[in-house]
Amino acid sequence: MSGAMFGGDEVGALVLDIGSATTRFGFAGEDTPKSVFPSVVGLAPSHHAASQDSVPMDTSDRDLPSGTAGGAARRSRKSYVGTTTLAVVRSNVDLAGVMQNGLVEDWERFELLADYGFATGLRVDAAQHPLLMIEPSWNPRESREHMTELFFEKYNVPAFYLARSAVASAFANGRPTGLVLDIGASLSSAVPVVDGFVMPKSIMTSSVGGDFLLSQCAQYLEKNQIVIRPSYMVASKQAVALNAAPKWTPRTFAEPISDSFHRYSKQLVLQDFVHSVLFCSGRTFDRDSVANLPAASFEFPDGLNISLGADRYRLAETLFDPETHADATAPAVSVSSRASSASAMDATSDGTKDPAGGLAAPKPIGLHRLATAAINSCDVDVRPSIGSSVIVVGGGSLVRGLPERLDAELRMALPAISKLKTVASGLSVERMFSSWIGGSILASLGSFQQMWMSKQEYEESGKAYIEKKCV
């Protein structure tokens, strides 16, 4: 049995990376993904969708084979995907993500993201392009086989490959061995990679990630009686002095706005707040030590302008010391993750994989402790080589000062690793899209052409063969 030979450059291989917050889709060999959009899908009953004031993505059944998961549901509901489409104010539309604890939870919405990526994001015929899919490093067999079956059966791709996200990120940074600390939206993970292979028994996860930080900021603002009014609520506003009450005119709507749309809109404001204001101090937070450090101001969509001094550092400190500085009562605010709305601080798992092969709900563990635990769980012989390349990636890593603080903490926690080094690209896009970039490089290599699982191999051996082709 032999499959067809494919080379990424000759056939235009595609790379797809669906994360908890964003979906990245593009062509192998390119530096960045061509299409990046939220991993959020809005669904509405068809009788209501007809009255909406924008054009949703086309989800007709012309390309849905019989038995496709979610096909029946889509016949009665319209879907809304893409940054621009999601920004349009709608009522009675349920916005939600596809992931829970880093794994696909909603396969219907997963397919809709892929539909949009092929048809609108890249405008390509999936049947003409091999597809490399980035998968979570702890992706269970059932999910891997489902992905394989989906892309061969529904999209009719000529070849398919599943690449572990940590391996792809390490590859993007030119490191075959190292620890990939991925600070994502729904969780953070520390994954040891040795000679291009994931060490599954040493994977550690934490609920301390981007969504966790958004929740902490939302709770802080609420306790300070600051109401987040997203842009869609504001018809007009006036300039006001710092910390003065905002002067704004509300926008009126004929129908009530869905709760999920309001949460999604607030989430976008909180993301701007985090990126504009928060800063990790160079050492363990102490209010007196940061008292003289620069403050930062932030203007909300309704015109309210506030300034944060020590609290901008304290909020960022929850990434390293959630036990001390995080608010255990902070509710979930993100619609991107399908995790429970209960506080992340309520989780009790030790952050490792559960016996069923999936991922147990992680508990809040500081980033440096997470990385230290993962390294120490590896064999003594490989710890120095893994610790010499602690690769920091993910959108959550863009909080200013984070790589420097992490490096300082790890040097104190791991004195036995004399050549410890934290690797964090100075380009934000390289950290945000690291796994996609690694997949892009991999799929474009001439030597990779024998790695693809071909359609012929799928038809002869079935979906279970992916376990042998993609280790």
**CATH code of residue 55:** 3.30.420.40
Backbone φ and ψ for 184, nearest 5 degrees, come out as -95, -170
* Mean pLDDT of the chain, nearest integer: 89
**pLDDT tens profile 17-35:** 999 999 999 999 999 999 9
Answer whether residue 25 is part of any domain: yes
pLDDT of 194 higher than 90: yes
For residues 16 and 92, the model is more confident at 16
Region 464-470 average pLDDT: 97
**pLDDT tens profile 36-84:** 999 999 998 765 544 444 334 444 333 333 333 344 445 468 999 999 9
What local confidence, expressed as pLDDT, does residue 358 receive? Answer: 53
297 and 309 assigned to the same domain: yes
251 and 341 assigned to the same domain: yes
Region 191-208 average pLDDT: 97
State the Cα–Cα distance between residues 145 and 168, nearest whole angstrom: 20
- In angstroms, the first-to-last Cα distance of the chain is 19
Answer whether residue 352 is part of any domain: no
Answer whether residue 279 is part of any domain: yes
Region 245-271 average pLDDT: 96
341 and 388 assigned to the same domain: no
Closest CA to 295 of 333, 243, 339: 243
277 and 218 assigned to the same domain: yes
Q: Any idea what the CATH number is for the domain that residue 220 is in? A: 3.90.640.10
State the Cα–Cα distance between residues 211 and 395, nearest whole angstrom: 11
Cross-strand partners of 199: none
- Write the DSSP symbol of residue 117: I
Domain tally for the chain?
3
pLDDT of 218 higher than 50: yes
12 and 158 assigned to the same domain: yes
pLDDT of 137 higher than 90: yes
- Domain closes at, from 317, 345, 373: 345
Answer whether residue 359 is part of any domain: no
pTM of the model: 0.89
> Taking the alpha carbons of 279, 433, 376, 137 in that order, is the dihedral positive or negative?
positive
State the Cα–Cα distance between residues 338 and 13, nearest whole angstrom: 30
Region 82-93 average pLDDT: 94
373 and 267 assigned to the same domain: no
How large a percentage of the chain has pLDDT more than 70? 86
pLDDT of 367 higher than 50: yes
Answer whether residue 331 is part of any domain: yes
Answer whether residue 299 is part of any domain: yes
194 and 242 assigned to the same domain: no
pLDDT of 408 higher than 50: yes
Backbone φ and ψ for 220, nearest 5 degrees, come out as -60, -45
What local confidence, expressed as pLDDT, does residue 399 receive? Answer: 98
Answer whether residue 191 is part of any domain: yes
State the Cα–Cα distance between residues 40 and 98, nearest whole angstrom: 7
What local confidence, expressed as pLDDT, does residue 462 receive? Answer: 98
Confidence band for 359, pLDDT divided at 50, 70 and 90: low
For residues 65 and 171, the model is more confident at 171
Q: Are 39 and 98 in contact (CB under 8 A)?
A: yes
> Which helix (DSSP H) or strand (DSSP E) does residue 99 occupy?
strand 99-100
What local confidence, expressed as pLDDT, does residue 70 receive? Answer: 42
Which residues lie below 8 Å from residue 322, measured CB to CB, with a gap of 6+? Answer: 208, 212, 345, 364, 365, 366
Q: Are 18 and 135 in contact (CB under 8 A)?
A: no
126 and 152 assigned to the same domain: yes
What local confidence, expressed as pLDDT, does residue 193 receive? Answer: 99
Answer whether residue 351 is part of any domain: no
What local confidence, expressed as pLDDT, does residue 71 receive? Answer: 46
459 and 407 assigned to the same domain: no
Q: Which residue segment(s) compose the domain that 87 sits in?
A: 8-166+433-469
331 and 219 assigned to the same domain: yes
**pLDDT tens profile 283-300:** 888 888 888 899 999 999
14 and 71 assigned to the same domain: yes
239 and 328 assigned to the same domain: yes
